Chain A
Amino acid sequence: MLGCDHFIPRLERYLDGELPSNERGSVERHLRSCPRCQKEMEDLCALQRLLREAVEKGVADVELQAVWEGVKKRLRASTVKRRAWWLVRDLFSPFRPIRTLVWGTALLVILLLTLPLVTSPPLPPVVVESVESEDPVMIFQGEEGIMIIWLFEAEDGKEGVR
């Protein structure tokens, strides 16, 4: 003997005429003897009636094309959001530790390689990194990208004509 839990989910399809004939018979037999399902059926009928009235009343006032465009737009937006979230969740899922590790390492490597490019200030046209000399040396910045190193060579370094 099937109970209300079996029939209640079928009531809406029964009402819409979507049930196969063998099931329709069993639903009708059950409805005749079950007050709970009768009540459920009445509620469904009332809801359907209300909806039909609302649609019939409002359909003349509403531009269906505009409504449909709005619905499509919202559907697209929610699909894109969901896809992006699925992608992130898929990449960093705790159930896929190897993939997470690989992607994490790749992101870290990319970050480490690009960070100096983004953060380091641009170099001036000339940078003197080191100077070695036995004689005194002076380094000074000239104008327009010129760097000057002046070597105070001792007198004995003087030479004649080549």
Chain B
Amino acid sequence: MRRTISLIVLGVLLFLLPPLVAQGREMQIGVRVILASHQGKGVDASLQNIQRKLSNLFNYSSYRLLQEHSFLLAQDQTGQLPLTEKKELRVRLLQEQGGTVEIDVEILREGKGIFKTKAKLKKGGILLIGGPRHKEGVLILAISAQ
């Protein structure tokens, strides 16, 4: 009887252990900040791999990579990235499960939240957040789990 109970406890632990182990894992979240505008023409060389996707989705004539950043986040950790003088991006890792990360993304203007979203990203998936105004164009944030 004792052996039976031990086997059951072991089985339940085997089911519960992987998520518990995953909770302590750090995940890399990549952010590319792109300025899209009608000023000039062309795409930065560093954006060649998503040039076709950007051109298919939007009709801006110019795409310039302003900055590229990678956050290494553990669960419930937040990464911050200044986008412009007044705007800031905050990315918080909510959880990682089975190769899918759940994140909170927030854009703040002068410390005040103007946009917030919660999304799940698989490896290879890209979340594009576009529209925040900057100079003569708009910012497009390409967020991906790495």
Does B8 contact A106, Cβ atoms closer than 8 Å? yes
Q: Report the interface size for chain B: residues with CB under 8 A from the other chain.
A: 41
Q: Which residues of A have CB within 8 Å of B132? A: 151, 153, 157
Does B114 contact A125, Cβ atoms closer than 8 Å? no
Q: Which residues of B have CB within 8 Å of A129? A: 102, 117-120
B96 to chain A, nearest CB (A): 13
Q: Which residues of B have CB within 8 Å of A143? A: 53, 56
Q: Is B127 in contact with chain A by the CB < 8 A criterion?
A: yes
Does B57 contact A126, Cβ atoms closer than 8 Å? no
Secondary structure dominating the interface of A: mixed
Does A160 contact B135, Cβ atoms closer than 8 Å? yes
Bound-state CA distance A158–B138 (Å) is: 9
Q: Is B81 in contact with chain A by the CB < 8 A criterion?
A: no
Proximity string of chain B (117-139) to chain A, C-beta cutoff 8 Å, 1 when within and 0 when not: 11111101111111111110010
Does A131 contact B117, Cβ atoms closer than 8 Å? yes
Proximity string of chain A (149-162) to chain B, C-beta cutoff 8 Å, 1 when within and 0 when not: 11111010111111
Q: Report the interface size for chain A: residues with CB under 8 A from the other chain.
A: 42
Bound-state CA distance A142–B134 (Å) is: 23
Closest to B102 in A: A129
Interface residues of A in 102-135 (CB under 8 A from B): 102-103, 105-106, 109-110, 113, 123-135
Closest to A132 in B: B116
Interface residues of B in 87-144 (CB under 8 A from A): 87, 100, 102, 107, 109, 113-122, 124-135, 138
Does B133 contact A153, Cβ atoms closer than 8 Å? yes
Does B57 contact A146, Cβ atoms closer than 8 Å? yes
Q: Is A148 in contact with chain B by the CB < 8 A criterion?
A: yes
Bound-state CA distance A131–B113 (Å) is: 12
Q: Which residues of A have CB within 8 Å of B117? A: 128-132, 149
Bound-state CA distance A156–B87 (Å) is: 13
Closest to A159 in B: B84
Q: A99-B1, A126-B126, A159-B85 are in contact. Are A148 and B57 (CB under 8 A)?
A: yes
Bound-state CA distance A22–B57 (Å) is: 106
Q: A151-B130, A152-B131 are in contact. Are A128 and B4 (CB under 8 A)?
A: no
Q: Which residues of B have CB within 8 Å of A123? A: 100, 120, 122
Please tell me which one of the listed residues A126, A128, A153 contacts residue B122 in the complex, with CB atoms under 8 A apart: A126
Closest to B100 in A: A123
Enumerate 11 A-B pairs (CB-CB under 8 Å) in ascending A order: A102-B8, A105-B8, A125-B124, A129-B120, A132-B116, A144-B53, A145-B126, A148-B129, A151-B114, A160-B135, A162-B84
User: Can you list the 5 inter-chain pairs with the closest CB atoms, starting with the nearest?
Assistant: A125-B125, A151-B131, A126-B125, A158-B133, A127-B120
